[in-house]
Chain A
């Protein structure tokens, strides 16, 4: 018997019991929970693909397009990967079912997702090019519409896989929208998975994605989350380093202005010996915006000889801008190396003057320094093309010009 209808039913009753996330929950307290709760969001209807709302494709990649949570187009096979709908295979849901109990947005996604996408990299498959998935939220009318995209990635033994998620909106005159995405990654022994998640939705959109990651022996997961858009953006990443030698590297960049709220919550569980985690999150917060990083790291008793490092830096560029930085390390054994740090500050005056003393205007100097602050986070991204493109766009946005043109390799 298919587990899916039962699962959806359970999810629906869990959501009904839990309700929308509230500020009483520590991890949600800086988010626009009221707008979320009172937004009146209901599942959106299908919409045709507005080709002009799609960002230009990354080089050489035939991509998947998801509109309002429904797969609209894309390959079913590429570089040895198999790609298809989630169907009702138990494997695609088992890892998330226990989370329904306390994670309202996971329950809500489970209740409402339409077809979803399952991506499978067989044993030893190494895909050379990143798989690009564009997720478009088009609110067709004045009714606040909710999209519930869901992606399951399974990386077989020693396989390597890069996936790019680009969340975008339809045209600006569209009605209010909510994206509630769930990304579930299972990397088995020796596999390496990298994801890049770019949240670029319009100002009338609320965006939430939950990424769940389960790592086997010596498996590695690298994540980049870049937030630039939306009225409120939230990224929640939960990683389980479940077997020896598993490791993860989580990076995030949030660039918030106006009254935007950008919220990052990460939870990394070290469950086995010789596991390691690294986090670098940076925020650039302007005007009256709020940027938050909450990083929880749990090192369990059995996770001997493990290592966890976490760093969060914030640049406040407005008098009313707010940064919340909350590291939370819980360590249950003595044989670990752990560090965390967070900074909230302005640009370095000495560096600003140095650049100005060479003829750069204040705005230009400020832009270069801000770009420098941001660009380190983009290192090692799942798509180099995307990292370069984001770098140029950020620089343009932050300084009104680009200096990082292509350079001749020889000097």
Chain B
């Protein structure tokens, strides 16, 4: 589904990803673990199509299409979803107005009829229940005044509404206490399907106790340096990233 080959990405002239290769299969959850500064956020932003990330080499192919040819919104409508590490507060924009616009943008692209307010509300109600989101929050402005946990849950709600083929969860565990972590993970697990692929990007192993990955990759200095099963995450937790560093060196 997603094939990244020897990807090189620079930000402000500084190379962050230095030949990263990664394959993600439909229906699988791939964890990408790495210490601070290894390039985790760069990977998520470059996949989502953010400006300012200059691809200097390599390729990203999604369902046979060169991702670099698609703008951020085209990627989203093609089924790529990024759950932000720091979801943006947008004063004055209603959460549900925004979500309806997003759902309908994708439907238009697929040639499906748009949902009216009533149809959308029905869908929204179902998805709120699925991911355990407080229905009052969707009437508020996008993420404005939300707690850390509410913001992350709002991301998962959007994922539930947009039903992406490939979801990238960027440090979804950051800033969450254990209850919020469980709630958010529960929402993510409810969205696992035999077709949907997920890339779970995280520093710590604890998120992977709740969202069990099929495969674990270790990102180090802009490259995937080690790949294994879920047990690799535990080994990292016990021995720290220095252990990988020594092995690589």
Residue of B nearest to A349 (CB): B51
Are B84 and A359 neighbours in the complex by a CB distance under 8 Å? no
Are B124 and A403 neighbours in the complex by a CB distance under 8 Å? no
Are A411 and B125 neighbours in the complex by a CB distance under 8 Å? yes
A195 to chain B, nearest CB (A): 24
- The dominant DSSP class at the A interface is helix
Are B90 and A403 neighbours in the complex by a CB distance under 8 Å? no
Contact of B117 among A351, A361, A373, A407 (CB under 8 A): A407
The complex places the Cα of A357 from the Cα of B88 at a distance, in Å, of 12
A155 to chain B, nearest CB (A): 32
Contact A358:B88 (CB < 8 A) given known A405-B117, A411-B125: no
| Residue A329 interfacial (CB < 8 Å) | no
Residue of B nearest to A395 (CB): B97
Are B162 and A358 neighbours in the complex by a CB distance under 8 Å? yes
A321 to chain B, nearest CB (A): 21
| Residue B158 interfacial (CB < 8 Å) | yes
Contact of B90 among A349, A351, A359, A410 (CB under 8 A): A351
Residue of A nearest to B124 (CB): A411
Are B73 and A356 neighbours in the complex by a CB distance under 8 Å? yes
Contact of A356 among B76, B81, B90, B125 (CB under 8 A): B76
Are A355 and B82 neighbours in the complex by a CB distance under 8 Å? no
| Residue B190 interfacial (CB < 8 Å) | no
Contact of B73 among A351, A362, A403 (CB under 8 A): A362
Are B73 and A411 neighbours in the complex by a CB distance under 8 Å? no
| Residue B93 interfacial (CB < 8 Å) | yes
Q: What mask results when residues 90 to 114 of chain B are scored 1 for a CB within 8 Å of chain A, else 0? A: 1111001111111001100100000
Contact A411:B139 (CB < 8 A) given known A368-B98, A368-B101: yes
Contact A372:B91 (CB < 8 A) given known A360-B73, A406-B117, A411-B125: yes
| Residue B116 interfacial (CB < 8 Å) | yes
Contact of A404 among B49, B87, B97 (CB under 8 A): B97
The complex places the Cα of A403 from the Cα of B142 at a distance, in Å, of 15
Interface residues in B50-82 (C-beta closer than 8 Å to A): 50-51, 71-73, 76-77, 81-82
Contact of B98 among A355, A361, A373, A406 (CB under 8 A): A355
Are B117 and A357 neighbours in the complex by a CB distance under 8 Å? no
The complex places the Cα of A358 from the Cα of B125 at a distance, in Å, of 19
Chain B residues with CB below 8 A from A361, complex form: 73, 105
Please report B residues at the A interface, Cβ cutoff 8 Å: 48-51, 71-73, 76-77, 81-82, 84, 87-88, 90-93, 96-102, 105-106, 109, 116-118, 121, 124-125, 135, 138-139, 142, 158, 162
5 cross-chain pairs, A with B, having the tightest CB-CB distances, nearest first: A372-B92, A359-B76, A358-B102, A359-B105, A354-B88
Could you list some 24 contacts between A and B, CB below 8 A? Answer: A348-B90, A354-B84, A356-B72, A357-B82, A358-B76, A358-B99, A358-B158, A359-B73, A359-B106, A359-B162, A360-B105, A362-B71, A364-B105, A368-B98, A369-B90, A371-B92, A372-B91, A375-B92, A403-B97, A403-B98, A403-B101, A404-B97, A407-B96, A411-B125
A369-B92, A405-B117 known, 10 other contacts, Cβ within 8 Å: A353-B50, A355-B93, A358-B99, A358-B105, A359-B77, A364-B105, A368-B97, A373-B92, A408-B121, A411-B139
